[in-house]
Amino acid sequence: MKKNMGTIDRTIRVLLAIVVIILYLTGTISGVAAVILGIFALIFLVTSALAFCPLYVPFNISTIGKSR
């Protein structure tokens, strides 16, 4: 797997996952919404840790900044 996620992309995903976790722990979201958002949060955390997003591959997207 070649890395295709930059630092800003990874940071945003982690922050979104943290928001979902906080919303769940405070009881703001529950039921089906909590499960669906929880799955997305888990995916965001895993892809951020690996710096690789499989959905970027077919579209040849990379958020890693170009070297000068």
Transcribe 4-39 into DSSP letters. Answer: ---HHHHHHHHHHHHHHHHHHHTTSS-HHHHHHHHH
pLDDT of residue 62: 93
When pLDDT is averaged across residues 26-45 and rounded to a whole number, the result is 97
Tell me the C-alpha distance between 3 and 53, whole Å.
8
* Whether pTM exceeds 0.85: yes
Q: Report the C-alpha gap between 44 and 52 in whole angstroms.
A: 10
Q: Is the pLDDT score of 68 beyond 60? A: no
